[in-house]
Structure 1
Amino acid sequence: MTVFTCGQLSDVAHTLGGNLHFQRELSGEQPVLDGEQQVQVLSEGLVLYFSRSRDLVDASSDNRLAPGITAAFLLQGEAEVSLPRQRLHFDARPGGQRAMLVNLTDSDQFQRHWRSGREETKVCLSITPDWLQQVAIGSQLRSDALLRFSRSHWHSLPWQPSVDILQRAHQLLERDATLPPLMQRLQRESFALDLACDILRGIDTPQEKRLGSHLERCLARLKEWLDSGEADALSITDMARQLGTNPVDLQNAFRSRNGTTIAAYLRRQRLARAYQAMRQQGLSVEDAANLAGYEHLSSFSAAFKREYGFPPSQARR
């Protein structure tokens, strides 16, 4: 991790086309952020940004957001920003709002609110108007919904990254340091293109294909169960019965919204809980296997390695 001073962070923002300044006067030598920032500008006009950071000050800062579509989501932690006419709190914990999707037709200002000690791990993809015009609007991804969204200033839509996107983002952050630079770039380019397609298809979803209010409530409650562990001992039939719907509709709606099945999502969440317990609490591999619901250590190790690309023995610190 690197400690960034106010002046250094302003320089980083400037190289990315931003204009960062704090609302209360801070010395250029004042440490404001502890973390790492990774930016990759792709030739197609996509800008992919990863950050892990911890705030070192209580403050608010203004920065400039470039024209185009910006999608951001948290992998861990919390964040708070102010856009025109709304203040948003993001939280990667179960039940929290972790993502934002917004379009700007012109460069404009937004605010970030800092709280000393608060941590966040964030992924952001910026889609430039040129890329959108050449690649999306001029292709089969074009739709009236996409055109309306891209022509409205500060237009935001509810959006959540798919489970596959979240898992791949975790893997990129964990495995990038072990890869040669060329492989890092290729993997990130592939991820950025898949993320862009995920975003654009979300914008393009016709109104008639959206879910009814009852099923939306079912999915929201189910997501809370899956994320918290409340659903670990329930079958899909049990889940549907308790939610007041049927297993087929519940499974189809969940797959449509999250890009994976309920069982696959649950398996990944249990692996993620085991992973975090090993990293943060020093849990043994054997106890982590039990936490993830695996009777055999070999099965847990194989599933863990498929998911994260390394054996569970390397997850402990």
Structure 2
Amino acid sequence: MFAATKTFASIVNRRAVSLSAPAEAQTQTATLLDRLGDGGALNASEQAAGGRVLNGTLSLTELRDGFFLHRTDVTYLRGMTSRFPLSGNGVKIVLKLQGGGRLRIGGLALPLPTGPGPRAALVTLRESALYEHRCRASSRERMLVITLMPHWLEQAGLGELNARPHLSMTAWTPSPRTAYLAEQLLSAPGTQDGPLQGLVQERLALELVIEALAQLEPAQCGMAVAETTTTLRPAEYQRACRLRDWLDSGAADALTLGAIAQHMGCNASTLQSQFRQAFGKAIFDHLRESRLRRAADAITAQGISMAQAAELAGYRSPGNFSTAFRRVYGFSPRGLVGKKG
């Protein structure tokens, strides 16, 4: 596993180094970018020769062998075009949260229309292809790219995806839940902060992968994904995500299933079935777990008593709360007392 993050105060214009540039010039440019990423600055001759073109942060993290996360949050100070080859096979999931830049892979435009709101596309590569990115001056771009290599797909039981045609593309509008997760990934610190941070990033990225693969026909992504999404249409999956977020907010703690379904504008049995298909559990099972989680957070953050935690989680007695908590988490909630953060 590796992680590399570079925060650029200024970057020389990379248009001067094309794919046909001499290896020496490319090496010099790479060395310069490394120096800038380590906090160095351009000298006077470099500023005069290249000029500033962007500010921001770029990062590349290998979350697991063959599972990469590339994060971009930059402001382009000049209009520019970047080109570089993408080597090897695999699947790329591109999620753009902000930006009007135009992306092409292998000469084909990615179906990511400009305008407000997040956009996403899944692209299959079976051979090397040229990546091209055109952007306007004074524009900010915030984007995630997840790369799944063939051996990762095989290990995940998704080897069928390796047989998709070269440059196959699928576009969709990310759900609010996915947009929220992407924001978390984009603003998260680097994995250098510790192994748990890397696991958190992997968990968030995997949820993005699940939604991306849910856009494909079940036969294209194998039984592992077919069982997870169970033929839910994107709109149905998005509604299940909205319901989960609403349940987690606490707003539905005192409501019946009928009242929850009415709020979501859906028949109760249909909503229950779709939620189970999306997340593998019943609505009230998730709500119970959510209340237990909120009670646990209140114990650690606010130091509330076991009786208060039981009431917050919806239990009449601390004993019943403790039993339910242990069943879900495997230890007593009293183990949280005195722990912060």
- The TM-score normalised by the length of structure 2 is 0.50
Paired-residue identity, %: 24
| Deviations 1:62-121 (CA, angstroms, capped at 9, x unpaired) | 23223210011123444421343445334583xx56111011001101321211122121
- What is the aligned-residue RMSD (CA, Å)? 5.1
* Paired position in structure 1 for 2:90: 68
* Paired position in structure 1 for 2:147: 126
* Paired position in structure 1 for 2:55: 34
| Structure-2 change in CA distance of 1:108 and 1:259 (3 Å) | farther
1:76-155 equivalences in 2 (<5 Å): 76-83=98-105, 84-86=107-109, 88-90=111-113, 93=116, 96=117, 98-133=119-154, 135-136=155-156, 141-142=157-158, 144=160, 146-149=161-164, 152-155=165-168
Return the match for 1:58 from 70, 79, 89.
79
- Structure 2 segments unaligned to the other structure (5+ residues): 1-6, 18-25, 31-47, 242-258, 287-311, 313-341
Q: How far is 1:237 from its partner?
A: 6.3
* Paired position in structure 2 for 1:49: 70
1:242-261 equivalences in 2 (<5 Å): 246=267, 248-249=269-270
Equivalent-residue separation in structure 2 for 1:120 and 1:260 (angstroms): 37
Equivalent-residue separation in structure 2 for 1:91 and 1:222 (angstroms): 27
* Paired position in structure 2 for 1:309: none
* Paired position in structure 2 for 1:171: 184
Q: How far is 1:35 from its partner?
A: 0.9
| Structure-2 change in CA distance of 1:29 and 1:183 (3 Å) | farther
* Paired position in structure 2 for 1:312: none
Amino acid at match of 1:99: A
Work out whether residues 119 and 172 of structure 2, in 8 Å CA contact, stay in contact via their aligned partners in 1: no
Equivalent-residue separation in structure 2 for 1:73 and 1:108 (angstroms): 19
Work out whether residues 61 and 112 of structure 1, in 8 Å CA contact, stay in contact via their aligned partners in 2: yes
| Deviations 1:28-55 (CA, angstroms, capped at 9, x unpaired) | 6232222100111245111111111112
Return the match for 1:5 from 7, 12, 17.
12
Equivalent-residue separation in structure 2 for 1:159 and 1:110 (angstroms): 20
Equivalent-residue separation in structure 1 for 2:281 and 2:56 (angstroms): 32
Q: How far is 1:257 from its partner?
A: 7.1
Work out whether residues 82 and 88 of structure 1, in 8 Å CA contact, stay in contact via their aligned partners in 2: no
* Paired position in structure 2 for 1:188: 201
Work out whether residues 123 and 169 of structure 2, in 8 Å CA contact, stay in contact via their aligned partners in 1: yes
| Structure-2 change in CA distance of 1:238 and 1:172 (3 Å) | same
- The TM-score normalised by the length of structure 1 is 0.53
Equivalent-residue separation in structure 2 for 1:79 and 1:260 (angstroms): 40
Query: SS of the residue aligned with 1:187?
Result: helix
Equivalent-residue separation in structure 2 for 1:260 and 1:163 (angstroms): 20
Query: SS of the residue aligned with 1:154?
Result: coil
Query: SS of the residue aligned with 2:184?
Result: helix
Equivalent-residue separation in structure 2 for 1:157 and 1:251 (angstroms): 29
Task: Count residues with an aligned counterpart.
Answer: 237
Query: SS of the residue aligned with 1:53?
Result: strand
Equivalent-residue separation in structure 2 for 1:148 and 1:126 (angstroms): 16
* Paired position in structure 2 for 1:303: none
Q: How far is 1:61 from its partner?
A: 3.1
Return the match for 1:157 from 154, 162, 170.
170
Amino acid at match of 1:187: V
Equivalent-residue separation in structure 1 for 2:14 and 2:163 (angstroms): 39
Query: SS of the residue aligned with 2:171?
Result: coil
Relative to structure 2, which stretch is displaced further, 77-86 or 35-44?
Answer: 77-86
Work out whether residues 92 and 98 of structure 1, in 8 Å CA contact, stay in contact via their aligned partners in 2: no
